[in-house]
Homo-oligomer: A and B are copies of this chain.
Amino acid sequence: MYECQLKTRRRVEMINITREVEDEVRRRNIRDGLCIVYCPHTTAAITINEAADPDVARDIAAVLERLAPHRGDYAHAEGNSDSHIKTALLGPSQAIIVRDGRLALGQWQGIFFCEFDGPRDRRFFVKTLQDNS
């Protein structure tokens, strides 16, 4: 398992981590299989979406803020309930198929680390599974 560190700079930030994940798949030298990108935090998520126009990630973050506003009426007293909820909606991990030694991402897809309670020191895990069939 590969562990990647990153520093986030804003409270909410969508960081393209596709290259880091692709590099790890190449290092592991697997031909076909599966790649899991996993976030061990409870106020940050992993998603896959368009990486060409940064406005797409901005729109996703903006709608999530409308669905779960930072300043809302929550039970959890730490002021980051919205961050936990946004994390639950996008999910803590993504699975990507590996084919011919590369991530089988679509043309416009990129993998994003979604910070919802930054800025912080963060990390994510990358695990590859070789298909031995």
Binding site for B on A (CB under 8 A): 1, 28, 30, 32-34, 36, 38-42, 47-50, 53, 55-56, 58-60, 62-63, 67-68, 74-78, 81, 84-85, 87-97, 99, 104-109, 125, 127-133
Kindly state the separation between the CA atoms of A59 and B88 in the bound complex, as whole angstroms: 11
* A97 in contact with B59 (CB, 8 Å): no
Known contacts A48-B92, A67-B67; 16 additional CB pairs below 8 A are A1-B32, A1-B104, A34-B129, A38-B95, A40-B105, A41-B108, A42-B48, A47-B88, A47-B91, A55-B74, A55-B81, A59-B75, A60-B84, A104-B125, A129-B129, A129-B133
**In the complex, which residue of chain B has the Cβ closest to the Cβ of A107?**
B40
Q: Max chain B CB contacts within 10 Å: which of A88, A91, A99?
A: A88
Kindly state the separation between the CA atoms of A59 and B72 in the bound complex, as whole angstroms: 10
* A104 in contact with B38 (CB, 8 Å): yes
Given contacts A38-B97, A108-B42, contact A129 B131 (CB under 8 A): yes
* B76 in contact with A55 (CB, 8 Å): yes
